[in-house]
A = this chain, B = another copy of it.
Amino acid sequence: MSALRDHAGTVRLVDHHVHGCWLSPVGRHRFENALNEANTEAVASFDSAFDTQLGFSVRAHCSEMLGLDRHVEPDVYWAARRTIPEDVLAQRFLRAAGVSDWMVDTGFADGVAGIDELAALDSGRVHEIVRLETVAEQAAAAPGDYAAAFDELLWRQTRTALGTKSILAYRGGFPGDLSEPSPAEVADAAARWRDAGGMRLRDRVLLRFGLHRALRLGKPLQLHVGFGDRDADLHAANPTHLIDFLRGSGDTPVLLLHCYPYEREAGYLAQAFNNVHLDGSLSIHHLGARSAAFVGRLLELAPFRKILYASDGFGPAELHYLGARLWRAGIATTLQGFVDAGEWSQPDAVRVIDLIAHRNAERVYGLS
């Protein structure tokens, strides 16, 4: 156990992009499906989500948290897990993550803990991130001028929230025009969308409007990039297609989330634009035994003050924990390799761990 590994294993984390965890019991079927991010259908009967890198990581690292041996069989893991109340599991895993601050995307919270419930777990401070597409849907449902309603809702909700998030990747993707639309275009598009019911925003004009309102607000803007579920076209979530948008994004911090398999492209953008940052988030726990290699790839072109930690945990609290556990192991392995090769000094490695673990997030989000 090197000093570096020891530091990585205990450093305080800010999880700048996460969702709620479950608080009520679920069945095994639902549990297994929650280990598959990309599939929007039930995992096939011939398959098991335990037979994946993430499934193997659950058995390797979460077993101990249930008092079991490493690598126990899925049936053994499940039998032990179902005897423990979900909220007890949640608190156990969240506390073990070593996270001081959780920034929670509340835009999709089906079946998972809300802000207040997470705070009640007493496992770190809880902050909100406001999803722009949800604000848009609320504005569509509000009376009067759409743009004014959007601005009012965004302003009100972000008085306490730390930032905004867009899932443009799921609503048509990045290629194409992302410039700010004119007020007339916005009014026309809003009228059409309201006539059509105002649900599940996919109108490009209104998506662009939301993004530019978020830029004007100036609070950090998170963007889903790369790996997610198959409702998005992966190739349309390649962040290189954001370059024109980023050229006009000014000083508002932009945070590229997940990024896999476009982490090298995202790192390039983080070097190219002062306001662009990135994380690896859910890609880390989904890559399991391959996650250290991914953590290494995040440390290529991106300046070290532009890389943040996140888990993107959603549902099973194992994910909130595994993100941290695997990141800690991956950054230690990666940086120890740099130190052993004589490329980095040990104090530099410790400092970069601190930057990614919490200092960069504290600067970007203005956390005290």
Contacts and interface: CB of A to CB of B under 8 A. Distances in A.
Given A233-B243, A247-B230, A290 B286 contact: no
Interface in A51-82: 51-53, 56-57, 60, 70-71
Interface string A176-188: 0000000000000
Nearest to A275: B44
B56 A272 contact: no
B290 A39 contact: no
A299 interface: yes
Contacts of A272: 38-40, 229-230
B345 A70 contact: yes
Nearest to A343: B289
Contacts of A275: 44
A300 B57 CA distance: 12
A231 to B, nearest CB: 9
Contacts of A230: 243, 247, 272-273
A16 interface: no
Contacts of A46: 305, 363
A268 interface: yes
Copy number in this complex? 3
A352 B47 CA distance: 13
Interface residues of A, number: 71
A342 to B, nearest CB: 7
B240 A233 contact: yes
A28 to B, nearest CB: 17
Most buried by B among A48, A227, A286, A289: A289
A54 to B, nearest CB: 9
A123 interface: no
A47 B243 contact: no
A252 B40 CA distance: 17
B343 A44 contact: no
A344 interface: yes
Interface of A: 36-41, 43-44, 46-49, 51-53, 56-57, 60, 70-71, 227, 229-230, 233-235, 238, 240-241, 243-244, 247, 260-261, 264-265, 268-269, 271-275, 286-290, 292-293, 296-297, 299-301, 303-306, 333, 337-338, 341-345, 348, 352, 355, 363
